[in-house]
A = this chain, B = another copy of it.
Amino acid sequence: MTTRTIILNGGSSSGKSGIARCLQAVLPDPWLAFGIDDLIRAMPASMRTSDAGIEFAPDGGVLVGPEFRALEAAWVEGVAATARAGARVVVDEVFLGGAASQQRWRKALDGLPVLWVGVRCDGAVAAGRELARGDRVTGMAVSQADIVHEGVFYDLEVDTTRAEAMECARTIAARLG
């Protein structure tokens, strides 16, 4: 059974969504790219600043509440169902809960072959890119750089500290076979 699901996990500004777009360009079949940012955009505006929802602290910390978790769980089921229905899907994720976050995806994707990819980036470099982007709360890149990988299992890891998004995409595509 061919792998039709790729999960990219990495901290903010590590370059995940750029890799996802490059994958869409280099892979011969059409792939859908979803990401945690899509979920946040789909939520009520009020949840983006509430204790029960998601809060972006001025120092870059991200706090997630129970209502966020509930909607997130349903969204994960939806992405899994899209994959089960036959679409090729690449997901751009931030495992704030490390191994526990991965476990949620494993359960939802049970039975489907998945390529788990760690997207590493040196925290200081990611922090510079965060400033260069200009659309993120400063501090997220550094605070997430390491914790999102804690206890997570990968089939493959790429590091954008020195490698371009396109190189990483080619490495991933080669592994996909």
Q: Residues of A at under 8 Å CB distance from B?
A: 15, 17-19, 21-22, 24-25, 30-34, 38-39, 42-47, 49, 53, 58, 67, 70-71, 73-75, 77-87, 125, 128-129, 131-134, 138, 164-167
User: A77 touches which one: B25, B84, B133, B164 (CB < 8 A)?
Assistant: B84
User: A42 touches which one: B34, B44, B74, B133 (CB < 8 A)?
Assistant: B34
Listed by A's residue number, 23 A-B pairs whose Cβ atoms lie within 8 Å are: A18-B129, A18-B134, A22-B131, A22-B132, A25-B46, A25-B131, A30-B67, A30-B71, A32-B42, A32-B75, A45-B134, A74-B83, A74-B85, A75-B82, A77-B82, A78-B79, A78-B81, A78-B82, A129-B164, A129-B165, A131-B166, A132-B164, A132-B166
